[in-house]
Protein backbone atom coordinates (compact mmCIF):
# COMPACT_ATOMS: atom_id res chain seq x y z
CA UNK A 1 0.00 0.00 0.00
CA UNK A 2 1.35 3.37 -1.05
CA UNK A 3 0.76 6.51 0.96
CA UNK A 4 0.50 9.63 -1.19
CA UNK A 5 1.22 12.89 0.57
CA UNK A 6 -0.15 16.28 -0.36
CA UNK A 7 2.19 18.28 -2.59
CA UNK A 8 1.81 21.52 -0.57
CA UNK A 9 4.00 19.89 2.12
CA UNK A 10 6.92 19.92 -0.34
CA UNK A 11 6.38 23.62 -1.05
CA UNK A 12 6.30 24.35 2.66
CA UNK A 13 9.62 22.56 3.24
CA UNK A 14 11.27 24.48 0.38
CA UNK A 15 9.90 27.81 1.56
CA UNK A 16 11.23 27.36 5.08
CA UNK A 17 14.62 25.92 4.13
CA UNK A 18 17.48 27.74 5.82
CA UNK A 19 15.22 29.86 8.00
CA UNK A 20 14.79 29.58 11.74
CA UNK A 21 11.97 27.28 12.70
CA UNK A 22 10.25 26.56 15.93
CA UNK A 23 7.84 23.78 16.70
CA UNK A 24 4.46 24.31 18.28
CA UNK A 25 4.70 23.23 21.91
CA UNK A 26 1.23 21.75 21.72
CA UNK A 27 1.07 19.86 18.40
CA UNK A 28 4.62 20.00 16.95
CA UNK A 29 3.69 21.96 13.80
CA UNK A 30 6.65 23.93 12.41
CA UNK A 31 6.24 27.70 12.62
CA UNK A 32 8.61 29.77 10.48
CA UNK A 33 7.57 33.33 11.34
CA UNK A 34 6.77 34.88 14.71
CA UNK A 35 3.42 36.62 15.03
CA UNK A 36 5.34 39.66 16.25
CA UNK A 37 8.66 40.53 17.87
CA UNK A 38 9.45 42.99 20.62
CA UNK A 39 12.85 44.42 21.49
CA UNK A 40 13.08 44.23 25.29
CA UNK A 41 16.44 45.93 25.72
CA UNK A 42 19.73 46.09 23.85
CA UNK A 43 20.30 42.36 23.45
CA UNK A 44 17.00 40.59 24.11
CA UNK A 45 14.08 40.08 21.72
CA UNK A 46 10.78 38.48 22.65
CA UNK A 47 8.89 36.60 19.93
CA UNK A 48 5.22 35.71 20.05
CA UNK A 49 4.44 32.56 18.06
CA UNK A 50 0.99 31.44 16.96
CA UNK A 51 0.49 27.96 15.53
CA UNK A 52 -1.44 27.91 12.25
CA UNK A 53 -2.43 24.30 12.83
CA UNK A 54 -3.98 24.45 16.30
CA UNK A 55 -4.01 28.15 17.22
CA UNK A 56 -1.78 27.73 20.29
CA UNK A 57 0.26 30.84 21.20
CA UNK A 58 3.48 31.05 23.19
CA UNK A 59 6.44 33.37 23.70
CA UNK A 60 10.17 32.88 23.47
CA UNK A 61 12.91 35.26 24.51
CA UNK A 62 16.15 35.32 22.52
CA UNK A 63 19.27 36.82 24.00
CA UNK A 64 21.99 37.94 21.63
CA UNK A 65 25.53 37.64 22.89
CA UNK A 66 27.24 40.98 23.34
CA UNK A 67 29.88 41.60 20.74
Binding site for Zn ion (CB under 5 A): 24, 26-27, 29, 51, 53-54, 56
Q: How far is the CB of 36 from Zn ion (least distance, A)?
A: 18
Q: How far is the CB of 48 from Zn ion (least distance, A)?
A: 14
Nearer to Zn ion, 43 or 60 (CB): 60
The strand pairing partners of 30, in sequence order, are: 23
Nearer to Zn ion, 26 or 61 (CB): 26
The DSSP string of 4-46 is PPPTHHHHHHHHHTTS--EE-TTT--EE-S-SEEEEEETTEEE
Amino acid sequence: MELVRDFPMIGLAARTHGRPLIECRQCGFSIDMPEWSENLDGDRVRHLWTCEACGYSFETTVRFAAA
